[in-house]
Amino acid sequence: MGVADIVIIGGGIAGVSLAARLAPQASVILLEAEETLAHHASGRSAALYEPRYGTPAVVELSLASSDYFHAAEGVLSPRGLLMVGKAGTEAEFAAETRDMQLDPISPDDARKMVPILNPDVLTQASFAAHAWDIDTDLLLQGFARKARAHGAQIVTRARVTAMSRADGQWKIRTESGDFSAGLVVNAAGAWVDQVAAMAGVSPLGFTPYRRSMARIPAPEGMDPAAWPMIFGAGEAWYAKPDAGALIVSPAEEHLMAPHDAWADDMVLAEGLARYEEFVTAPVTRVISNWAGLRTFSPDRSLVIGHDLRQSGFFWLAGQGGQGFQTCPAASQMAADLITGRPTGLPDSLVAALSPARFG
């Protein structure tokens, strides 16, 4: 049996970053159900650091991650964010431009950035440079190396099948053996409520939603590498340069049970059609497609903190697609709460992210 002070369930960016924060101070075992880390939502992210995207609590946590990101060599690279609107989307465009602190620009200036935008459709545009690509693998592997360097064990193919608590210790049965710890951290992504129920802890009502992506060829004769990420107003679709091609998403939220998600062909076609309406270069083929589950709490902000009723059970959940952009601050906050240190964050933010808000 593997024995540690803390067992973290879930090897996405949330669990791995927390392991790196905790390992210098405690013995840590991280359990990942799949063969590789970040197999599910973390491995299928659009990988953008746009700190003003999300609920107010998510934005505050994302902004608190800024210093870490900008000090981490090679993790961020400039991208920028362009919002585009058409007739009939004025309200959505205005709200999102305000909330993400974008600057209005002319349609002509938008087309200078992205020449394929359709002048017959585009009526509004706004832009900000405060958005960066995240090298998600570099970030994830950096946290994993730090965790291992401080003695953390990372165990893959370790799907949890049973949990029980006695005499202040959790007994955790997995497909790769049994483990024991005084504290369990539930960082299991779309499966967090299932893990809680297995532990006899009341689920908090997390909801996984599918989001699909397609990689399409770059428009003939064009190099999109310097283009910004493009959002359709109302988050009806988005597109982003990726390794000489473009990734396009319908930006859908379809309720799903936790599973290894895949793209729905009809939903993907509808999203590509919304993208095509805004551009002059038709989609001639799809190179590849995939989907991930973005898991939200009932109020769509992260949940970070000790369970109210079950001692030794800690929540790190509900990233909702913002796991990478919040992970530096989220993991540090979680580690501070676990070790009893001041978080350095406003009490109002700690309360806004605590499981206590659900009663």
Residue 276 neighbours by CB under 8 Å, 6+ apart: 282, 283
Predicted pLDDT at 122: 98
**pLDDT, tens digit, 9 for 90 and up, residues 283-331:** 999 999 999 999 999 999 999 999 999 999 999 999 999 999 999 999 9
| Domain-wise residue ranges, the chain | 2-45+136-206+298-358, 81-128+207-294
Predicted pLDDT at 56: 97
Distance between CA 335 and CA 25 in Å, rounded? 9
How would DSSP label each residue in 85-122?
Answer: E-TT-HHHHHHHHHHTTPEEE-HHHHHHHSTTB-TTT-
Predicted pLDDT at 43: 47
**pLDDT, tens digit, 9 for 90 and up, residues 137-146:** 999 999 999 9
Residues 177 and 1: beta-carbon distance below 8 Å: yes
CB 80: neighbour CB atoms within 10 A? 19
Strand partners, 155: 31
Distance between CA 324 and CA 319 in Å, rounded? 9
Note the pTM of the prediction, 2 decimals.
0.95
Residue 269 neighbours by CB under 8 Å, 6+ apart: none
CATH class of the domain defined by 81-128+207-294: alpha beta
How would DSSP label each residue in 151-194?
Answer: T-EEE-S--EEEEEEETTEEEEEETTEEEEEEEEEE--GGGHHH
Paired tokens of 323: 């796991």
Residue 83 has pLDDT above 90, yes or no: yes
Superfamily of domain 2-45+136-206+298-358: FAD/NAD(P)-binding domain (3.50.50.60)
**pLDDT, tens digit, 9 for 90 and up, residues 332-350:** 999 999 999 999 999 999 9
pLDDT-based confidence at residue 38 (cuts at 50, 70, 90): confident
Residue 179 has pLDDT above 50, yes or no: yes
Residue 180 neighbours by CB under 8 Å, 6+ apart: 1, 2, 3, 4, 7, 169, 170, 171, 172
Of 210, 212, 201, 223, the residue nearest 315 (C-alpha): 201
Distance between CA 333 and CA 65 in Å, rounded? 11
* Average of per-residue pLDDT values in the chain: 96
Predicted pLDDT at 39: 67
Q: What is the mean pLDDT of residues 351-359?
A: 96
CB 220: neighbour CB atoms within 10 A? 7
